[in-house]
Amino acid sequence: MTPEEKYELFDKYCSNELSEQEQQLVKQLMQEDVSFADELLLYQEVNTHLQTRFDVDHEQRELESNLNKIRNSYNNTISSEKNTRIIRIPAWAYAVAASVVIAFGVYFFDQKNPVYQDFANIPELSIAERGSMEEDSKNAENAFNSKKYQLAEGYLLSLLSKDKKNTKYQFYLGITLLEQGKHAKATDVFKQLYLGDSVFKYKAIWLEALNQLKQKKYDKTIELLKTVPEEAEDYEQAQQLLSALS
Amino acid sequence: MANTKIHADQKYIEALLRNDTLVLTEMYKKFAPKVIGYIKKNSGDEPVAQDIIQEVLITIYKQAKEKGLQLTCPFDAYFFLLCKRRWLNELKKNTDSLVTINEEIVSISDESIHFVEETEIFNAKHELYSEMFDELGKACKELLKASFTIKSMEEVASKLGQSYGYVRKKKSLCIGKLTQLIQNSPKFNQIKKLL
């Protein structure tokens, strides 16, 4: 049997088109010749594989994109749960909360605009790598997380002097400046980040918006908030603030 | 396996086949944290863990679609083990140094392991078939793609401006060629040893 004849037979076998005579022949060859049987079975499997592969191509892509959406919404709920947890636990938070309430009360007589504290949600800094001998990164982390921003600024600047392009350092430097009320400097840092292409791009827009909010520059805040894209982690917060402002 | 009872968790397989957002979301909440926790403990991070989860879900989907996968064991252990083994393979591929694995004691039934192995073999074959398909000549690739997307060989023939008899014969020769490429690949023998 030539290869042409063999594969024609295989093709008919897969599509159930064998004549009775051919069926007998295939049956006989499968019993007598192991390599024939092996090849036929593999041919059949490859045939099914190709069939489903081209068949489900579109469907599979839809599933993939849906799974991506589910993954993103899962990540968003997790990060918002984490944030609430951080706010709830520490004891000093009560004092802050009380002062915010008072500030709020005072504020309300004044105007209805939202304030920076309502929206500021400072993430934790974690840059000290396991086993890292870098003293500055540990110090920066400690200072930042215990809200000693002036100190953290110093350490971050020292880290940046060795690693100028590190966007993580830049981003956290921006936050330390913002928290200290060094608004113009903070703007410089955030602007560089949101014009760039790092993972902090969108976060930087959000924080620069907060930087403007803290200075009560509402028009500027609104302008920035409008550029926070839907896929950004802070999109919902940005929308809330936006609707509170307009 | 045909006479064993299908497990209630088959609903998760069905959800993948139907692309059912509600059940898939529930699955993610239920099964993802354990995998993420494990991978994070073993030199990975969250995004990587989520990539692994996605890949494994797609493999299960493909197997269900092509082979009609029917679970007779809980999804939890099956899924976790698949993710775990895929991650360990990744680690082996990317690190020269020895990696310490924080083993957790999970009781896994023989049946789950059987399903895991079946899925892994399916996946290995799938990868090999795709790889070998790419090795085919351009004409074969195009003809096979047309035959399996258009379905009717008459239409394929008229589209390619050839006779029905010719495209049909050519199609069987192309699949034959692919079958041989697969048989001759060293990976194929490795997979066969696993069976």
- SS3 for A117-155 is HHHCCCCCCCCCCCCCCCHHHHHHHHHHHCCCHHHHHHH
Kindly provide the ipTM of the predicted complex, given to two decimals: 0.81
Close Cβ partners of A237 (under 8 Å, ≥ 6 residues apart): A119, A121, A206
A172, A124 in Cβ contact below 8 A?
no
What's phi and psi for A203, nearest 5 deg?
Answer: -60, -35
A53 touching B, CB under 8 A? yes
Contact A67 B24 (CB under 8 A): yes
pLDDT tens digits for A58-91? 888 899 999 999 998 888 877 766 655 444 444 5
Distance (Å) from the C-alpha of residue B179 to the closest C-alpha of chain A? 6
pLDDT tens digits for B111-122? 788 888 889 999
A147 touching B, CB under 8 A? no
Just give the CATH number of B1-109.
1.10.1740
Per-residue pLDDT, averaged over A19-25, amounts to 93
pLDDT of amino acid A106: 47
Q: pLDDT-based confidence at A162, cuts 50/70/90?
A: confident
pLDDT of amino acid B119: 92
User: How far apart are alpha carbons B183 and A123 in whole angstroms?
Assistant: 55
pLDDT beneath 50: ranges in chain B = 1-2, 97, 105
Collapsing DSSP to helix, strand or coil, B94 comes out as helix
What's phi and psi for B59, nearest 5 deg?
Answer: -60, -45
pLDDT of amino acid B29: 93
pLDDT of amino acid A99: 57
Close Cβ partners of A230 (under 8 Å, ≥ 6 residues apart): none
pLDDT of amino acid B191: 85
User: How far apart are alpha carbons A35 and A174 in whole angstroms?
Assistant: 69
B49, B97 in Cβ contact below 8 A?
no
B129: nearest Cα among B73, B195, B79, B175:
B175
CB A117: neighbour CB atoms within 10 A?
15
**Chain B residue with minimal CA distance to A35?**
B183
User: What is the residue extent of each domain of chain B?
Assistant: 1-109, 134-195
Exposure pattern of B24-34 as b/e (b: 16+ CB <10 Å)? bbebbeebbeb
Judged against a pLDDT cut of 70, whether residue A228 lies above it is answered with yes
pLDDT of amino acid A9: 93
pLDDT of amino acid B12: 96
**Chain A residue with minimal CA distance to B133?**
A50
Of A46, A54, A62, the CB nearest to B175: A46
Contact A60 B62 (CB under 8 A): yes
Judged against a pLDDT cut of 60, whether residue A109 lies above it is answered with no
